Amino acid sequence: MVLEIKNPSANGEAVLHRKSNGVSSVASDGHVNFGSNGTVVEHDSGGDTLNGEDSITVGAVDAPDVITKKERQREMTFQDMYNNQGLFDEDDEEDSDWEPVQKRVEIVKWFCTNCTMVNLNDVIHCDICGEHRESGILRHGFFSSPFSQAADLTEDICLQHPASISSTAVGFDERMLLHSEVEMKSHLHPERPDRLQAIAASLATAGIFPGRCFPISAREITHEELQMVHSLEHIQTVELTSHIFSSYFTPDTYANEHSACAARLAAGLCADLASAIYSGCAKNGFALVRPPGHHAGVKQAMGFCLHNNAAVAALAAQAAGAKKVLILDWDVHHGNGTQEIFERNKSVLYISLHRHEGGKFYPGTGAADEIGTNGAEGYCVNIPWSRAGVSDNDYIFAFQHVVLPIAAEFAPDFTIISAGFDAARGDPLGRCDVTPTGYAQMTDMLSTLSGGKLLVILEGGYNLRSISSSATAVVKVNFFTSM
């Protein structure tokens, strides 16, 4: 695993190193890379060599002759410049392609506060999600509108369960909001703290949480529990980020000094929710957690994911007594990490519905012929979509004809949903068309399995309005079915 560290330079010097023997370069903005064995490669800002490599220090002061020339130019009047044309002849070649009539055209862009995607300046509403460019969604907090699409389903369930006290548990901790990308960019990273805040505000507006669902106290997962899922090297590498201001596992997977703690909290909440549900302390639950987890494999963090929360929850349920666990992953991206962890395990059935497009859609895994290995063939079921724009009808059809028949035959004792909401309508990465009603219907179908012992774990989803409305629709189903 390669972990790229970013430490601000103390003196502004740019130090360049040639790559050698697996050690990455130190770039001009102070990037420092870790070797593949996870050991720290320290760098002195004064320009010392790194592991015997040649280094070149680029100073911030101009050479004396350059300074003299600049000073002389500043002191000259326009008439002096014409009288001393020879002083500037050496620059003529550099300006030979300059045309006085040429105008610089600057394209002004703005980034959507709801889905983070770029738009041209003359567009008032986001091309992807329709959000107004002056939206106050982040300035004033997000409170979702009534869920008219999901109302029929949840009202029917409400009539069947008239009680007002729910045994639905929700796991959330504000410390997970501290996990964020440190590097300042004009384009926000799609996996951002606002995702949790939007869902939490939506649940509060609906009167579900806090209030009618009960909270699970947050606990950081232990190293011993993590080692049931991840390698020791992976765990140590993630922990190392606690001492570093900013770092990257992959170009899209960031960490700051709070990220390791946030990942431990997320995994700990998922483990405790699974134990509480299986033991009967809660009927079902929703893990409002980040960073997400289903791309995190045995040895690597990737795809915004650090620890695999669903895998940790599955093993926690088994530790509590469950013999067979179903993980249903409806995130628009294939959960390559979850599949890798359980592809040799017949006690965990992993089913994923995702965009694949012949391996061209991230992460490229999840073809229909990936079914498990080493005697566990058939315990990985992949339903790959060949295009964008997949809708409720596509998912419901797949549930009715593939997911539920296989799940019923497996007969799980415990069910986990890796609930990414990036197949939702308006998501900038998924580009599909699933509605809150669709997510509610799929949740209702899965609640018939495992005696209703169901844990929903947040994965992806990057349109604040769609993830909050979709997540709330799902929790409403859990809430009413547990009454």
Multiple choice CATH, 108-141, 2.60.40, 2.40.50, 2.30.30, 2.40.128: 2.30.30
What is residue 371's predicted lDDT score, i.e. its pLDDT?
A: 98
Number of H helices, E strands in the chain: 13, 16
pLDDT at 102: 52
Residue 101's pLDDT is what? 55
The closest alpha carbon to 300, from 338, 254, 249, belongs to 249
CA 296 to the chain's CA centroid: 11
- Asked if 479 and 443 touch (Cβ cutoff 8 Å), the reply is no
Question: Using CB atoms within 10 A of its CB, is residue 373 exposed (0-12), middle (13-18) or buried (19+)?
Answer: exposed
The CA distance from 177 to 163, in Å, is 34
Give the model's pLDDT for residue 187.
Answer: 81
Report the candidate in 278, 190, 177 with the shortest Cα–Cα distance to residue 460: 190
DSSP 8-state class, residue 86:
G
pLDDT at residue number 136:
62
For 391, the 3-state DSSP assignment is strand
The tokens of 45 are what?
A: 């800002």
Within the chain, which residues score under 70 in pLDDT? Answer: 1-108, 135-166, 482-483
Q: In this predicted structure, what is the pLDDT of residue 288?
A: 98
| Residue 336 CA, distance from chain mean position | 14
Domain boundaries, the chain: 108-141, 168-481
d(C-alpha 460, C-alpha 217), whole Å:
23
Comparing CA positions, the residue from 480, 481, 466, 477 lying closest to residue 112 is: 466
Rounded to whole angstroms, the Cα distance separating 383 from 397 reads: 12
- Do 108-141 and 168-481 fold alike per CATH? no
> Which are the contacts of 443, defined by CB distance < 8 A and separation ≥ 6?
417, 454, 456, 473, 474, 477, 478
pLDDT in tens, 364-416: 999 999 999 999 999 999 999 999 999 999 999 999 999 999 999 999 999 99
User: Looking at residue 166, what is its pLDDT?
Assistant: 61
Residue 351 β-bridge partners: 328, 381
pLDDT at 339: 99
CA distance 21 to 1: 15
Long-range CB contact pairs, 50-53, < 8 A, 24+: 50/17, 50/23, 50/26, 51/20, 51/21, 51/23, 53/17, 53/18, 53/20, 53/23
pLDDT at residue number 185 = 77
| CA nearest neighbour of 176 among 238, 265, 237 | 265
Task: Please give the C-alpha separations between residue 210 and each of 91, 205, 346, 395, in angstroms, as whole numbers.
Answer: 69, 10, 38, 31
Distance CA 473, CA 440 (A): 6
What whole-number distance in Å separates Cα of residue 280 and Cα of residue 30? 52
Closest listed residue to residue 471, CA positions, set 428, 429, 431, 427: 427
Compute φ and ψ for 16, nearest 5 degrees. Answer: -110, 135
Tell me how far apart the alpha carbons of residues 379 and 239 are, in angstroms, rounded to a whole number: 32
Q: What is the pLDDT of residue 130?
A: 80
Catalytic positions are 295
CATH classification of 168-481, choosing from 3.90.79.10, 3.20.20.140, 3.40.50.620, 3.40.800.20? Answer: 3.40.800.20
What is the structure's pLDDT at 451?
95
What is the structure's pLDDT at 337? 99
